[in-house]
């Protein structure tokens, strides 16, 4: 039985056709993958189904009836639910309050906690309705969103990149839930570019490229490589690397401890780490376990005690960000818009944001805009940033393109130590490969590189050694040679916490 049928959907924006004659159908109880690079038109398509975008042409039928939702409320009324990639939750409120806030017709306050427990039991999603959301892990926050959807008993559940913030064990729990839903007849539209997951979970896959459907396949019978090549349209290059002999110790963290910088932050506890020249160290962990704080302690945004952060034998824990850049310590925080880059400033200004010290873009305090523009231009060219020009504001760039710009800006400064947090978050496969290659090339040139990432495949692909960050503590780094995803997952310790939560719920 077909639940949702899309016929010839077309949507054009000025200058770009987001969807062109897209047709496919989703069966009842089917887990259907929507696969494509950033900018392939996945978001527009999903927003069309969810009533956020009206197509220029084409039509949809839902269970045989014509379906054209005028807004998300209408879509939800017809049984469409969606879990977004970025959560919209209030940190200071409880799980139950957050869920009630996001519902069109919330059940009475007294019943809601009971309903949440009921659903979380039924689908194996451990969640305590009285917890404050600010204290939850990313995986638990996602469960809040999922349960909010499930309380409305949807016929079609849309999930946008749901696993990007989860540990392997959390992914398994999520997949169990999704399979259970599918067996009970709920259809799922699963958007991702992680091919292994799609192969493990989905019954069918529709592949989009540049707004068009370029293929449909049974992911269980297709290799990841074949799907990736359909998605990208070319033959993929895996990053080239050789495990070079690591050189002298460059970066040394000795018993690094720091209090949490704000209420929902994480304290760093006794972190020990040595990074040698030519080495890439990958640090994994679920978001909110001290990643931001570790980057801040290295970039200079957060000062630490004497001797805790040592570069080339000199303690730099008390130095300002620019003093650190001067000796070659560069960083790229996770949040692109508003932290690594200023959204309302142009790319030229954003190039200046960190580039002034090493690229010498000013003289006696007077800024050399021509030179800054050249630097921005060289980043755009070297990292294939898609933008009309250097005078575009950062917020006008897509997430992936801005990420390329931010990472490129640091790499082109030829740092001695580079710390990046989530370098390829939300970046399409081809661009992610080029960013990873650039990080490897930087290390090959003798730099010490620290990659903090929740994408474990990424860490296995580029890191020489791996360590897990959990509640502000760093595990002992181990070589990535022969390390499996499962072993990493256990090091991350996320699964352990979840079982505890389940017992409470």
- Contact residues for another protein, defined by CB under 8 A: 13, 44, 47, 52-54, 70-71, 299-301, 320-322, 325, 331, 333, 335, 338-345, 349, 352-354, 356-357, 362, 365-367, 369, 392-393, 395-396
Q: Are 203 and 31 in contact (CB under 8 A)?
A: yes
Helix (H) or strand (E) holding 80: strand 80-83
- We find the least distance from the C-beta atom of residue 346 to another protein, in angstroms, to be 9
We find the least distance from the C-beta atom of residue 58 to another protein, in angstroms, to be 16
CA pair distance 231, 428, nearest whole angstrom: 10
Nearer to another protein, 195 or 341 (CB): 341
Work out the angle between the directed axes of helices 399-411 and 429-444 (0-180°, nearest 10). Answer: 10
Q: Minimum CB separation from another protein for residue 442, in Å?
A: 20
**Would you say 421 and 227 are in contact if contact means Cβ atoms under 8 Å apart?**
no
Please say which residue, 95 or 372, places its beta carbon nearer to another protein. Answer: 372
Please choose, from the candidates 281, 285, 254, 286, the residue with its C-alpha nearest in 3D space to the C-alpha of residue 270. 254
Nearer to another protein, 14 or 108 (CB): 14
Enter the tokens of residue 289: 């376990």
Smallest distance from the beta carbon of 219 to another protein, in angstroms? 29
What counts of helices (H) and strands (E) characterise the chain? 17, 23
Looking up tokens 């293929």 gives: 215
Shortest CB 68 distance to another protein, Å: 12
Q: How many CB atoms lie within 10 A of CB 337?
A: 15
For the residues of 287-312, what is the DSSP string, one character each?
TTSSHHHHHHHHHTSS---TTSEEET
| C-beta closer to another protein: residue 342 or 485 | 342
User: In the bound complex, what is the minimum distance in angstroms from residue 66's beta carbon to another protein?
Assistant: 18
Q: Which is nearer to another protein, 63 or 396 (CB)?
A: 396
Of 85 and 362, nearer to another protein (C-beta) is 362
**CA–CA dist 178, 164 (Å, integer):** 16
User: Least CB distance from residue 343 to another protein, whole Å?
Assistant: 7
Q: Closest Cα to residue 464, out of 240, 237, 242, 239?
A: 242
Token readout for 407 is 């990472």
Q: In angstroms, how far is the first alpha carbon of the chain from the final one?
A: 36
In the complex, minimum distance from the CB of residue 38 to another protein, in angstroms, rounded to a whole number:
15
User: Smallest distance, Å, CB 268 to another protein?
Assistant: 18
CB-nearer residue toward another protein: 147 or 352: 352
Give, in order, the Cα–Cα distances in Å from 448 to each of 213, 292, 382, 419.
42, 19, 21, 9
C-alpha 236 chain-centroid distance = 21
Closest CA to 60 of 212, 73, 47, 178: 47
The owner of tokens 């560069």 is 330
Smallest separation (angstroms) from another protein to the CB of 18: 8
Q: Which is closer to another protein, CB of 426 or CB of 493?
A: 426
DSSP SS3 for 363 = strand
In angstroms, give the least distance from the CB of 56 to another protein. Answer: 12
**Closer residue to another protein, CB minimum distance, 366 or 503:** 366
Residues 6+ apart with CB under 8 A from 144: 87, 89, 95, 98, 99, 127, 133, 136
Q: Toward another protein, which CB reaches closer, 8 or 321?
A: 321
Phi, psi for residue 285 in degrees, rounded to 5: 150, 155
Tell me how far, at minimum, the Cβ of 158 lies from another protein, in Å: 15
Bridge-based pairing of strands 249-258 and 268-276 is antiparallel
* Secondary structure, 3-state, 436-456: HHHHHHHHHCCCEEEEECCCH
Q: How far apart are CA 429 and CA 432, in angstroms?
A: 5
């Amino acid at each position: 039985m077909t639940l949702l049928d899309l016929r010839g959907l077309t949507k054009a924006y000025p200058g770009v056709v987001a969807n062109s004659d897209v047709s496919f159908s989703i069966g009842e109880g089917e887990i259907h993958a929507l696969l494509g690079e950033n900018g392939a038109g996945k978001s527009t398509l999903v927003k069309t189904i969810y009533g956020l975008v009206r197509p220029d042409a084409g039509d949809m039928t839902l269970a045989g009836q014509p379906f054209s939702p005028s807004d998300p409320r209408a879509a939800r009324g017809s049984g469409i639910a969606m879990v977004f990639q970025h959560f919209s939750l209030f940190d200071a409120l409880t799980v139950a309050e957050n869920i009630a806030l996001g519902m069109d017709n919330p059940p009475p306050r007294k019943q809601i906690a009971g309903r949440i427990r009921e659903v979380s039991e039924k689908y194996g999603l451990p969640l305590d309705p009285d917890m404050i959301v600010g204290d939850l892990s990313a995986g638990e926050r996602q469960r809040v969103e999922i349960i909010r959807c499930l309380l409305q008993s949807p016929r079609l559940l849309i999930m946008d990149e749901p696993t990007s913030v989860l540990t392997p064990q959390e992914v398994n729990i999520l997949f169990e839930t999704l399979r259970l839903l599918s067996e009970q007849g709920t259809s799922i539209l699963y958007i991702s570019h992680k091919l292994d997951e799609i192969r493990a979970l989905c019954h069918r896959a529709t592949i989009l490229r540049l707004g068009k459907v370029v293929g449909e396949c049974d992911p269980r019978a297709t290799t990841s490589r074949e799907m990736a090549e359909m998605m990208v349209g070319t033959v993929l290059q895996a990053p080239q690397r050789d495990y070079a002999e690591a050189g002298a110790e460059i970066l040394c963290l000795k018993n690094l401890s720091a209090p949490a910088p704000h209420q929902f932050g994480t304290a760093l506890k006794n972190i020990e780490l040595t990074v040698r020249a030519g080495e890439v160290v990958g640090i994994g962990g679920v978001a909110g376990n001290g990643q931001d704080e570790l980057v801040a302690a290295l970039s200079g945004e957060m000062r630490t005690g004497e001797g805790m952060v040592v570069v080339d034998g000199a303690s730099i824990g008390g130095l300002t960000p620019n003093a650190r850049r001067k000796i070659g310590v560069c960083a790229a925080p996770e949040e692109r818009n508003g932290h690594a880059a200023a959204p309302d400033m142009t790319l030229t200004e954003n190039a200046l944001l960190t580039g002034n010290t090493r690229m010498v873009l000013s003289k006696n305090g007077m800024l050399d805009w021509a030179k800054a523009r050249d630097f921005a231009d060289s980043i755009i060219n070297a990292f294939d940033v898609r933008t009309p020009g250097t005078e575009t504001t950062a917020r006008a760039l897509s997430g992936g393109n801005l990420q390329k710009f931010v990472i490129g800006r640091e790499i082109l400064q030829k740092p001695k130590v580079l710390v990046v947090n989530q370098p390829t978050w939300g970046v399409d496969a081809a661009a992610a490969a080029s960013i990873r290659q650039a990080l490897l090339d930087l290390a090959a040139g003798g730099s010490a590189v620290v990659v903090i990432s929740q994408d474990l495949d990424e860490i296995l692909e580029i890191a020489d050694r791996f360590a897990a960050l959990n509640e502000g503590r760093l595990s002992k780094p181990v070589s990535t040679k022969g390390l499996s995803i499962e072993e990493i997952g256990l090091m991350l310790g996320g699964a352990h916490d979840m079982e505890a939560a389940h017992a409470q719920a």
